[in-house]
Chain A
Amino acid sequence: MAPAVDTLTEDHAAVYDRQLRVWGVEVQRRLMEAKVLVLGLGGLAAEVSKNLVLAGVGRVGLRDDTPAAAAAPGNFLVDPSAAAEGLTVAEACARTLQAMNPLMAVAVEPGPPHAAALLPAQHPHHTRHGHSHPGESEAEALRALLSRYDLVVAVGGGAAGGGLALEQVAALDGAARALGVGVFAGAARGPSSWVFVDLGGECEQGFGYTPKGETEQRWLRYASFRSALTGGLGGVHRRTHPLYLVLRACWQFEEEHGRPPAGAADAPAVRAAFDRLTAATPAAPPLPADLLEAFVIDGAAPSAAAAAGADVAAASAAAAGLEQDAAAAAAAAGSEQEEPQGELAPVCAVVGGVVANNVLRALSAANPPLRNFFFYSYLVRDGLGLEECFM
């Protein structure tokens, strides 16, 4: 066994050897001191969590009190036995992740896989998981939880995976921003995935980092989610990833309807919002067929039939493994084209790797992380993974 590398123990040096050769001792040391909260544990979040734990992030907190029996089908961290033991998704994932890397700490943070507590009390809808509106104390508890971490990752959780309502992303981002906590938010929906990154204030200098091999610190400014989705459209051009405008159209839908789009029936309204946006944009990117519709449908909650039997279907899915049996069971309720696909595993793997890699950059402040969106879709330019910046 190799001798200790600086402050790293022999165990660290042995296990982390190959990545130390990629990013060096100093970055590893910073990662070991960092704390990341994962809010919601769907398939994409499972990928991100696995990657962060393997890298040796000091503390990874998991918050998702969904019963393990109702875990998102793509969450490979939930062992089939967890459902029978009555564990939550966070508990089941924590067990797997802690075994994956005993050199760091995995913590279960009690609470739901969303940030509805941060929404204004009078708001007409809360979450699509059907929780009643929490009191101010719950909001304070979530803020207190955030304040104990350096960065929060919210990329989908619960049974569907498909991501927080955009309004919740904005609320989470607002709270995290006020606390100086970094935010990675997003979702994988069928063939498409989006990621938003906010690492720091508009008034302050923003996110500081020191590129490898340099001594001078550099700064990156990030925008809030709200301003990134409501700012001027001047930056949009023909090569902009069309998912950015789809996301804005969904945001407008939420503002108008007080809820996220909930399936194929809402697609025309989102489409109308999209058309209004492109009309206001001198050079909007072309919209590939099905991109918007698939994004709306695949992000929706499982259909009524599936929802009614969610526990049963998911339990059997969990018992049988990870597959899309739950979705398949639900498919009986509607046409194939209108049934949510949920998260696709290969998309989660690609985007989960990209997200984790950039979370590690944000934590180690050695290289510039993505600023401030990442989009990936099978439907856009053959699966081009694109960084976009909208402030």
Chain B
Amino acid sequence: MEAPKAPAEPSWPGVLRTKEFKEKIKSAKVLCVGAGGIGCELLKTLVCTGFRNIEVIDLDTIETSNLNRQFLFRKHHVGQSKANTAAAVVQGFCPGASITPYHANVKEGRFDVDFFRRFDLVLNGLDNLEARRHVNRLCLAAERPLVESGTAGYLGQVTVHIKGRTECFECSAKPAPKTYPICTLRNTPDKPIHTIVWAKDLLFNRLFGAPDAVSDLDDQAAREGGQPGKQEEGDKEGGEGKEGAAEAGEQSEEARAAAASAAAAAAQAEDPSFFLRRDGEPALEYAARVFGRVYTTDIQRLAEVKELWEKRPPPRALHLDQLLPPAERAALQAALDKAAEAGAGAGASACKLLGLSNASQKWTPGQNAAVLLLATALYHTVRPSEVGSAAFDKDDLLAVEFVTAASNLRSSCYGIPEQSLFDAKGMAGNIIHAIATTNAVVSGLIVTEALKILAGCLGSLRNTFLYEVPVDRRLVVPATAWEPRPSCMVCGKTQLTLRINTKTTPLSGLVGAVIKKRLAVNSPNLMCGGFLYEEGEGLEEDEEAAYAALLPRPLRDLPGGGLGHGAILTVQDQSQHWGVDVIIAHTEDLSPDDAPEGFILEGALPTASAPAPPEQDGGKQQQQEAPSAAAKRKAAAAVAEDAAGVLHITDSDDDDDEQEGKEEEGQQQQQQQQQGAGTSVAAGAAAATANDSRKRPLDEDGDGDGAAAGGGGGGGGGEERGAKRAKAETAPAPAEDKDGCIVIDDDEDD
């Protein structure tokens, strides 16, 4: 970090002794986003430090599994608002404090730039990447300092984000959530998570879900099966894992070679109506019929697709009669009858009926079969109204039992280790490990940085990492906050290139998968020549209808000349005061390996007047990164090298609203970012960018810090859209735009 421009910063931590600063703490206005694991600790640490004006936003309600660390909550609070309860409890032990709660989503329109401007400090204790990115953009627009945090198990991280001075939350790439190639899930699983995702997203939905619940996966299958013509909509993730490893790369050659035949076989085999219970069919017979199909005939059919098994053993089919002799199946019927008589509803449990009380003990194959049959039958017998509309919920015991048994049976076909109910629940529910001590440490680190910001001791700001065990004796490790990344899509100035099939992709696919999901845009406003598309508050009904009518149309057939090759789409989000230009590069031959979601989004150089060959640009631009920033990053990487196990937190998604985040190694991120730069400057990008005058994608408020590298340019926050756009268009092309790499992450909220 540069030396402070102001001649004399107060001395840190000496300033803490002064009466003036104690008064400043008392009067400072603080926004806490999140009242979960980190949030509870943070509120406590804030009031104990002397903060008295705090507002807290959290949309979640309290659950039993929160009580081991969200220490403001008691059992009788379960089901109540976290924000409201936390505020009341803190106010109870600190009556002098004013805590204003909002039981609401931070992405609501009322939490706009003006709202954020009311605060001196914004402190995040969030559990999902999407909300973090949203808050990041609002803090940039409102020019308010943000302290960001996350935990996972024993690991913790606190980072400081001040516009123009330190990197913004989105300067560093966050790891993409793990997705699993559909043909791995369907044909060639080799890890427990593969069969769990299959059981949860494919089989569960087939049997109990809405008829279209698996269509996304079918779309993915279609793409991967070499049918690029099929439309895509929205999310296509298999659903799992946040680890961010690029698992798609695991898809093997032979699997791809076999994909066409396998997909064809699957299409024929998976007539969805087979999986529906027939009129008058006894529930257990239905369950047995499904078993025979899924674990016997389907596996036998797959085993015959020789191309798939050249490098791995083929799966072995299961036979229900061997696993579960008729006598035992009769016992299942008795258990089912008993449950039906008892009138067990939502609390029905196959495990309880079968006496499987130990959740951490793996079941035998026979027990798995019994649980599968009984759980399936129970759904139809005691919860019949949910069949056809059920969605997997990790807090639904019967659903977890079903998924555990279904995945274990499939695992046994493939020689994959089976899982206990406890472990399967964790994997299926994406449950983040969480303990109180880590959250407590992180809250202290957040408040430490908040105090420095408030005191104006900006030269003392640090990003801090908490390790699981001391590394080279160091357990709590501060690092100089990184400088803003000039090429940051959010706080810097850059353009993106979108490689997508503009003939076949409808506008809905662009809006859902690219704009909302990848770019984390909340209320999109898309402009390109004569084309305009908007969503969000304040639209007239007829406008909404007109825009909705555009959604099914392929990109290139949209009005105003269409979004074809070379088109430059201006994407803006009023609610975030943010925008970016996206250059469309029509591409028909996207492979599922490279583009599991059906498109590739990458950074592009806003080349000046003369376009340069893209490959060269990539390398060159990379080298041209400001030396000081490069040195800083290098130093940061060095710091992290000996810190195995320290993660850069990016996301957590325990869906039960924990505020903890998931981490990833900070240095790795930096490296990823740089490596990514080398590979992502794609052919086609430069061609589309040359000579376009709209090099200034950002419409965020650029006043104040505009001189700093990476500071946004463009219009003021509250201006009208058109004015902002005009301003953005006329702004000079930024000379300091340096690189072509943006690694964009996804996030996955349950």
Contact = CB atoms under 8 A, between A and B. Distances in A.
Nearest to B448: A346
A339 B22 CA distance: 14
Q: Counting chain A CB atoms within 10 Å of each CB, which of B352, B422, B469 scores highest?
A: B422
B435 A385 contact: no
A345 B474 contact: no
> Which of A99, A356, A357, A388 is packed against the most chain B CB atoms within 10 Å?
A357
B74 A2 contact: no
B454 to A, nearest CB: 12
A73 B69 CA distance: 23
Interface string B327-368: 000000000000000000000010110001111100000000
Contact of A349 (B14, B26, B153, B440): B440
B476 A18 contact: no
Interface in A112-137: none
Contacts of B469: 367-368
Interface string A13-31: 1111111111101000000
A257 B404 CA distance: 68
B478 A357 contact: no
A20 B93 contact: no
Nearest to B451: A346
A18 B14 contact: no
Contacts of B421: 2-3
Interface string A83-105: 00000000000000001111000
B194 interface: no
Interface string B1-41: 00000000000111011110010001000000000000001
Interface string A302-328: 000000000000000001111110001
B444 A357 contact: no
Contacts of B358: 3-6
A23 B425 CA distance: 16
Interface stretch (A49-57, A58-66, A175-183, A266-274): A49-57
Contact of B68 (A18, A80, A348, A370): A18
A349 B68 CA distance: 17
B96 A321 contact: yes
A144 interface: no
Contacts of A331: 19
Given A22-B434, A51-B437, A324-B22, A341 B444 contact: no
Contacts of B95: 80, 319-321
A3 B75 contact: no
Contacts of A344: 16, 49
Scoring A20, A43, A350 by chain B CB atoms within 10 A of each residue's CB, the highest score goes to: A350
A14 B445 CA distance: 29
Contacts of B431: 17-18, 21
Nearest to A368: B469
Contact of B422 (A2, A352, A356, A387): A2
B97 interface: yes
B691 interface: no
A378 B448 contact: yes
A253 to B, nearest CB: 23
Nearest to A102: B75
Interface in B107-127: none
A137 to B, nearest CB: 37
B436 A322 contact: no
A354 B441 contact: yes
A350 B445 CA distance: 7
Contacts of A337: 17
Contact of A383 (B360, B397, B478): B478
Nearest to A43: B48
Contacts of A100: 71, 74
A50 B73 CA distance: 13
A268 B421 CA distance: 63
B50 A324 contact: yes
Q: Which of B441, B443, B445 has the most CB of A within 10 A?
A: B441
Contacts of A17: 65, 68, 431
Contacts of A353: 436-441, 444
B475 interface: yes
B628 interface: no
A79 interface: yes
B433 A21 contact: yes
B447 interface: yes
Task: Tell which of B52, B93, B448, B477 has the most Cβ of chain A within 10 Å.
Answer: B93
B335 to A, nearest CB: 16
Contacts, number: 225
A324 B26 CA distance: 11
Contact of A350 (B422, B432, B476): B476
B470 interface: yes
A346 B435 contact: no
Nearest to A53: B71
B426 interface: yes
B624 interface: no
Interface in A363-384: 367-368, 370, 374, 376, 378-379, 381-384
Contact of B436 (A50, A73, A191, A383): A50
Given A22-B434, A54-B68, A345-B48, A383 B464 contact: yes
Interface string B89-105: 00011111100000000
Contacts of A322: 47-48, 93-94
Contacts of B14: 290
B17 A321 contact: no
A2 B397 contact: yes
Interface string B392-426: 00000100000000000000000000000110011
Contact of B445 (A1, A55, A346): A346
B453 to A, nearest CB: 13
B470 A349 contact: no
A356 B437 contact: yes
B279 to A, nearest CB: 35
Contact of A354 (B22, B435, B475): B475
Contacts of A356: 436-437, 440
Interface string B471-492: 0011111100000000000000
A14 B425 CA distance: 13
A349 B397 contact: no
Nearest to A320: B96
Nearest to A382: B478
Nearest to A351: B444
A374 to B, nearest CB: 7
Contacts of B359: 2-5, 13
A76 interface: yes
Nearest to A73: B48
Nearest to A378: B13
B444 A76 contact: no
B425 A349 contact: no
A15 B17 contact: no
B154 interface: yes
A55 B71 contact: no
B67 interface: yes
Contacts of B261: none
Q: Which of B64, B97, B473 gathers the greatest number of chain A CB atoms within 10 Å?
A: B473
A14 B12 contact: no
Residue from B22, B431, B654 whose CB has the most chain A CB atoms within 10 Å: B22
25 contacts: A3-B349, A3-B359, A5-B359, A18-B65, A18-B654, A21-B426, A21-B433, A22-B153, A54-B71, A55-B437, A323-B47, A324-B50, A331-B19, A341-B17, A345-B447, A346-B444, A346-B448, A350-B448, A353-B436, A353-B438, A353-B439, A354-B441, A378-B12, A383-B448, A383-B462
Interface of A: 1-6, 13-23, 25, 43, 47, 50-51, 54-56, 73-74, 76, 78-80, 99-102, 190-191, 290, 319-324, 328, 331, 336-337, 339, 341, 344-354, 356-357, 360, 367-368, 370, 374, 376, 378-379, 381-388
Given A6-B358, A50-B71, A349-B45, 18 more contacts: A5-B422, A6-B360, A15-B64, A18-B431, A18-B435, A19-B435, A47-B440, A101-B67, A320-B96, A321-B47, A350-B440, A350-B441, A353-B436, A353-B440, A354-B441, A354-B475, A382-B460, A383-B448
